[in-house]
A and B are shown apart, each in its own frame.
Chain A
Amino acid sequence: MAIRRNKSINDKSVDVFGAALTRRQLVQAGGALFVGFGVLKQSTGAATSKNSLDATLPGSWIEIHPDNTILIRTGKSDFGQSTTFTAYRQIVAEELSAPFEAITTVVMGDTDRTPDGSGAFDFLGRGTPNIRKAAAFTYQALLDLASQRLGVPKSKLSVKNGVVSSGASGGGKSVSYGDLVKGQQLKLTIPVSGDLTSVMGLTVTGNPPLKPVSEYTIIGKSYRNSVTTSKVTAREQWATDVRLPGMLHARMVHPKSLGSTLVAAGKLDKTRFPNAQVVVKRNLVGVVAPTEWEAIRAAQQVAGDTKWTEWKGLPGNANLFNYLRKSADWKTTRVTKSDKSRGDIAPTLAGAAKKLSATYEFPFMKHAPIGPTLAVADARPDGTVYVYTHNQNPQALRGEIAQMLGASTDQIVVRTFAGAGHYGRSNGGNAGAEDEAVILSKAVGKPVRVQWMRPEDFQWSTQSPASYSEVEIGLDAKGRMIAYQIDHYMPAMQDDRPVGAVLAGLPTMPAPSEKGVFVGSTVNDISDPWIYDGVATLMERGHGTYQVGQKASPLAIGMRDHSMRTPGQFQQNFPRELAISEAAALAGIDAIQFRIDHAREDRAIGVLKAVRDASGWETRPSPRAKTAAAGDTPVRGRGVSLMFRSGTYWACVCEIAVTPGTGAIKVEKATIAVEPGIVVNPMQLKRQVEGGTVMGISHALLEEATFDESGITASDWRTYPILKMADIPEIKVVLLHRPEVGSYGGGSEAANAIAAPAIAAALFDATGKIARRLPLKPAYVQTLLKA
């Protein structure tokens, strides 16, 4: 009966706000509504792939099942943000007016099973992530189906808990979503644009009506992350657990330096390692064996016997900023200017009553996942390649592997599993082991698991780039900022070339250059949105160059960089926010009040006031100390920072104690106010903010990727220490829920940037001395305080 009543939908495609609803075939049992997309106009290569694009295949965003359960799929890989398992379920349930619990399955990050691509960043899409629009289209299609079924105009229908009702005026009829799809094979084709295997993936276009925020009942609640339970009970399948029949274990023998080429690969001692095998492809050397322990020991033996050329083409970290200032090429790459830059800066600065002129330095930092990169690759005789890994952008990896092999993307499948957080390192598609596993698997004709060891993960991975910034601020006689100028200098931030492919001499995308586009470019964009619109004259410029050592290295490698959580923005926000605190002191005005005085946006002022109240901030100018700090008695100070990122305002107050005699800083309390507009899941957001803050304190106090003339010298947790539990402060998180903003800003990647400028300002408050370089290690602080 149900099928007959849907006749008009059976026969033709129904337009749903630009999406097309069709019925594909009658089915005797089961049935479902699949939400996918049609063939793309822009990118035929990816779009005509047999994988993940036909919504009748299990690759659609949303499936409504006859038993009223709902499955969602996303190309985004959750790396600890919890978003795909909490916020995404909440968003879909909300748009569909279905119970949160109805979404029983979340499929993520498999290139043959999930519809869109892109990286593990910007999950909430500044309010309209793909999954929200897909859900909004689906809701409209379900209303169309219900209207047909119940014979009631769409406008009279309402939905609660996944049941559509016509209300009293419509005859009091109702039907569940499950019943609407029962016995049918319905397909909703929604419009998309973009390139599936590019860094940004596909974007859902069109403008389906979105549920009014005032009607939200699911968003805003603290649902649990379903994956937490499986991880805590050892039931999760991690990438580290992937075992294929016949799989070999591999360890790599990476070059002696970031510019060394292979002279002769070491000979394997077959008497000790009878089952091992050495694979050499140009400068790529790997050792495979049936057991992991044999692979490790055999690789160590081979490494000791392998000859590489010498290379000393890096400046070394001690000479880094001297090198960047005097030797780096800042002329070839186009200089950028922020959209807000305005006014005649030079005369305004010249006419200022008081001036601040300072340079800030920001070191290379490692993403430093707690587990080193690994991947299992299965290069099959028919030319297809399966990669099982833990990757923030599986579709981009798929494209990179296809390019490396000269294969079609149709031949490459990437499956994603849980693993250690990468903090942006694999957002461009690779973290290190993936392409190497593919190369070795092809060479030996068996599935191969490549696991990097801890030193390799520090020394052969990418890092967050170093930078320096020159700031000039002009104040008038009353202490108001009348001019602000900043010049940011940073090498290319994102090198997505798979390093194994580079070593093996196989095809990759070009190294970052002035000719590159988007993330492949050396252009340094302004990434830290200006908040102090009360300043009339502003100049923000970004200067870019090649990666350090990239041109000099015979391997074209050098210090490869990659975005980290707040890419570019951390490098730009640290100098800006510390300089603003310095300017406030120069003006003799409290640092929070000074910010409020120059901000114009209500939301920015809101987080500043919230952090002031929550931290118990005493309104007064900095520094507190009138005399030089010395000795072994700790002195205390506080500092503040402000940032806007991905639709969210952040303000942070750090209170520190510093011991002048040793230079040791202890952050005693951190208070963070966060206003993302709509708070989707308070519990999960709070945990993200706490975690990001701890990482940010770690960055500020401890982290610098040291390197010499040949390569990175940080090799383990002793040479690259991170914050330990005993060193954490009391952390107070204030979540500001402002539904009237109407969108949900991001909350999982930004918190790492906010601590550093607040801590440096607190050091100034405590001692009157300004540390303009990170990290604030004891030796540096001690020297600074003695000066």
Chain B
Amino acid sequence: MATIIVNGVRREVQAPNDTPLLYVLRNDLELSGPQFGCGLAQCGACSVLLDGKEIRSCITPLSGAVGKEVTTLEGLPARWAQQKGLSKTDAEKTLHPVQEAWIEEQTPLCGFCQNGMMIKATELLERVAAPTVAEIKEAFTTSGPSAHLCRCGSYTAIIEAVQRAATVMGKGR
């Protein structure tokens, strides 16, 4: 049993401490953002932010998340609202710019990997305001435990969406 903070909310979890965080998020907390892709930290479908850093929830034990802030795809709008200091009413109707850009660019094909892609994009854009194409490629290919893989081949659309999100996030900085 453990207490973890997920998307800003304290959650009591009954699962054993060695349970991979992914199964806790999906089965105990019924979140649907992170997906099981490989269980080996080789694809990125399960990514979440842990204290703002992208990690692979499929190999991170529950115990590794205790006392840290977990943000999943579901938590991105609130994360953005908090960063921008939006009112509660505004926050409720606001998506994270990364999500907006993913819609604008019609990025997903099957969409199964896109959770990890959007988590990675969020991490990148919080660190680098206006990344170059080379920086985007580096972030999605070599910066983490593995490259973020998309079998449908949506990489071009992802690069375009990251650039669009950067423009939106950069406004008012």
Contacts and interface: CB of A to CB of B under 8 A. Distances in A.
Interface of A: 79-82, 224-225, 227-229, 231-234, 236-238, 240-241, 243, 291-293, 368-372, 418-421, 423, 451, 453-454, 683-684, 687-688, 690-695, 698, 716-718, 722-728, 731
B110 A420 contact: yes
B57 interface: no
A728 B156 contact: yes
B153 to A, nearest CB: 3
B16 interface: yes
A250 to B, nearest CB: 14
Given A80-B110, A687-B154, A694-B155, A371 B36 contact: yes
A725 B147 contact: yes
Given A717-B146, A722-B149, A240 B35 contact: yes
Contact of B35 (A293, A371, A683, A695): A371
A369 B36 CA distance: 12
Contact of B109 (A291, A368, A453, A687): A687
B115 A234 contact: yes
B32 A237 contact: yes
B108 A726 contact: no
Interface of B: 15-16, 18-20, 23, 26-27, 30-33, 35-40, 42-43, 45, 72-74, 77, 95, 99, 102-103, 106-115, 118, 136-138, 140-142, 146-159
B95 to A, nearest CB: 6
A232 B102 contact: yes
A730 to B, nearest CB: 9
Contact of A451 (B36, B102, B106, B111): B36
Contact of B137 (A454, A722, A726): A726
B73 A691 contact: no
B45 to A, nearest CB: 6
Nearest to B138: A726
Nearest to A717: B42
B80 to A, nearest CB: 12
A243 B28 CA distance: 11
Contacts of B72: 234
Given A234-B33, A698-B153, 13 more contacts: A80-B152, A228-B111, A234-B72, A293-B16, A370-B113, A370-B150, A687-B109, A692-B153, A694-B156, A716-B40, A718-B42, A723-B153, A725-B140
Contact of A688 (B109, B118, B159): B109
Contact of B26 (A236, A240, A370): A240
Q: Most B CB atoms within 10 A — which of A79, A688, A691, A722? A: A691
Nearest to A688: B109
Contacts of B112: 238, 369-371, 419-421
Contacts of B74: 234
Contact of B118 (A232, A237, A692): A232
Contacts of A241: 26, 30, 32
A725 B99 CA distance: 19
Contacts of B118: 232
A683 B104 CA distance: 11
B158 A725 contact: yes
Given A693-B153, A717-B43, A684 B106 contact: yes
Nearest to B152: A691
A728 B114 CA distance: 17
Contacts of B110: 79-80, 370, 418-421
Contacts of B149: 370, 717, 722, 724
Nearest to A693: B153
Q: Is the interface of B mostly helix, strand, loop or mixed?
A: loop
B151 A695 contact: yes
A225 B110 CA distance: 11
Contacts of B157: 687, 690-691
A243 B31 CA distance: 12
A724 B39 contact: no
Contacts of A723: 153, 155
A261 to B, nearest CB: 28
24 contacts: A224-B103, A227-B111, A234-B115, A241-B26, A241-B30, A291-B19, A291-B23, A291-B27, A293-B15, A370-B37, A370-B43, A370-B113, A370-B149, A419-B110, A421-B112, A451-B36, A453-B39, A687-B106, A687-B157, A690-B153, A690-B154, A691-B154, A694-B156, A722-B149
A371 B156 contact: no
A575 B112 CA distance: 33
Nearest to A80: B110
Given A80-B111, A722-B149, A370 B32 contact: no
A421 B154 CA distance: 12
B125 to A, nearest CB: 15
Q: Most A CB atoms within 10 A — which of B109, B146, B148? A: B109
B114 A231 contact: yes
B111 A418 contact: yes
B106 A224 contact: yes
Contact of B99 (A233, A688, A693): A233
Contact of A722 (B99, B151, B154): B151
A297 to B, nearest CB: 9
B152 A421 contact: yes
Given A370-B113, A717-B149, A725-B159, A228 B107 contact: yes
A646 B74 CA distance: 39
A418 B103 CA distance: 17
B56 to A, nearest CB: 12
A232 B152 contact: no
A468 to B, nearest CB: 26
B103 A238 contact: no
A731 B27 CA distance: 40
Contacts of B152: 80, 370, 421, 691, 695
Contact of A421 (B109, B136, B140): B109
Nearest to B34: A234
B31 A225 contact: no
Contacts of A420: 35, 37, 110, 112-113, 151
A229 B103 contact: yes
A775 B37 CA distance: 24
Contacts of A687: 106-107, 109, 154, 157
Contacts of A291: 15, 19, 23, 27
Nearest to A695: B153
B151 A370 contact: yes
Contacts of A419: 110, 112
Contacts of A691: 109, 152-154, 157
Contacts of A725: 136-137, 140-141, 147-148, 150, 155, 158-159
Contacts of B39: 453-454
A718 B42 CA distance: 8
Contact of A716 (B38, B102, B150): B38
A717 B141 contact: no
Nearest to A694: B153
Contacts of B138: 726
Contacts of B73: 233-234
Nearest to B115: A234
